[in-house]
Amino acid sequence: MAFKKFDQSDIIHNRLKTHPKVQFDVNRGNVYYQNRNHLSGAFATSVPNVPTGYVNLYELNVDRTEVDTGLIYPFVTKQGSLTSFSTVSTSDFNQDFNFGDIISGSYPLSASITRHHYVSTLLNDRRHVYALKNTLNFNRRSSESYAFSSSARDLATAEINTIYIPSIFYGSSIKKGSIELNYYYAGALLGTLTDARQNGQLIQSSGSIAANDGRVAGVCLYDQGIMLLTGSWDIFTTPSSSWLDFAKGANDGELADNEEVFNILYEGTTYTNTTTLLAHAEKGKFNYSSNPSFVDYNEKDWQPRSSSYGYTEIEKTIKNTVYSPYPDPTGSFEKITYISKIGVYDENKNLIGIANLATPVKKTEERNFTFKLKLDI
């Protein structure tokens, strides 16, 4: 087996930027992700423990049931190291558990979009809104619509419809200009919000009441995956509907009209770090193999000889694999190997990766090959 060190020019680091498309649909209190239908009946057991419209964060327990196989779960034992879960407070850890007790959690951890409706008459539970105050005011450089308090409205008292999107559904941020919110009733499109200006403003277009087209109905925090809708005007008269009702029933406990369908479209932004390795097999190199089939064992006496005078190892003949149309004589001898795998080793010659070729590559002394290995980090 031959070793060859990667030169500095043989290692290339890249970062791949992609924009995966995402679609959510909300109807009758159910959330549907990427047009996936609700699982029921015999198909419900194919992806257990994860509700419709959710994704499993770590792909755990997706093939297990509590009755048949049992569910895996995280646990720690209270010891002198005082190790515990971050969700267990210090006081609970000290008072509720004795040394030797097992503190356990549960899997799977799943996520989906969530809607929260802040009514103007209920002002005592707005800690999530106040937590966004600095972020909103910081984004005022893009648009004044981000202002937490302005002459148009004050988010400390205004009625707000917020939609929270976990980062697992968009990656690093939501792509600017890709958001589209559609409000349907009885199959008819009542209105659409887009961020066509790419400055975070969600502007109504294609509304059933044309006079409201062009109005700003809310803003989007691209990096945080949060949409705040404040548009209170009617986009439909019978029944009366506004953007404050958008996505009603999306894990918020509110009942939605069965005829209402809410559609959320956007593109995420994800980065994948990749490393490209160039493995060279130059002319005249890598033409000897430690594979036993590389040596011709058809000779009558190929075993090593030993006696009281010494030890003699018989020279082994490399098997000639050169093609010849005639059985005798054979073709002119050449050292030929077939490269089927490329191993990647660290500086201590520990094997850290193997690249398997779909078809072994014939390597003669006159051939020069470069194999391109790509690794996603």
pLDDT above 80 for 249: yes
Q: Give pLDDT, residue 42.
A: 42
Model confidence band, residue 44 (pLDDT cutoffs 50, 70, 90): very low
Encode pLDDT of 207-246 as tens digits: 777 788 899 999 999 999 999 999 999 887 767 789 999 9
- The predicted model gives 94-99 an average pLDDT of 89
Tell which wins on pLDDT, 47 or 105.
105
Q: Give pLDDT, residue 58.
A: 81
Average pLDDT, the chain: 86
Who contacts 232 (Cβ-Cβ below 8 Å, separation ≥6)?
159, 242, 243, 244
Encode pLDDT of 324-354 as tens digits: 777 666 667 888 888 999 999 988 989 988 9
Distance CA(134)–CA(94), nearest Å, equals 36
* Contact status, residue 221 vs residue 266, Cβ threshold 8 Å: no
- Total residues belonging to the chain: 377
Encode pLDDT of 13-43 as tens digits: 999 999 999 999 999 888 999 988 655 444 4
Q: Is the dihedral of CA 84, 73, 171, 373 positive or negative?
A: positive
- 3-state SS of 256-289 is CCCCEEEEEEEEEEEEEEEEEEEEEECCCCCCCC
Give Cα 364 to chain centroid, integer Å.
Answer: 43
* Burial group, residue 111, by CB count within 10 angstroms (0-12, 13-18, 19+): middle
Instruction: Report residue 212: phi and psi, to 5°.
Output: -95, -5
- Looking at residue 237, the DSSP 8-state letter turns out to be T
Q: Give pLDDT, residue 314.
A: 60
Model confidence band, residue 46 (pLDDT cutoffs 50, 70, 90): very low
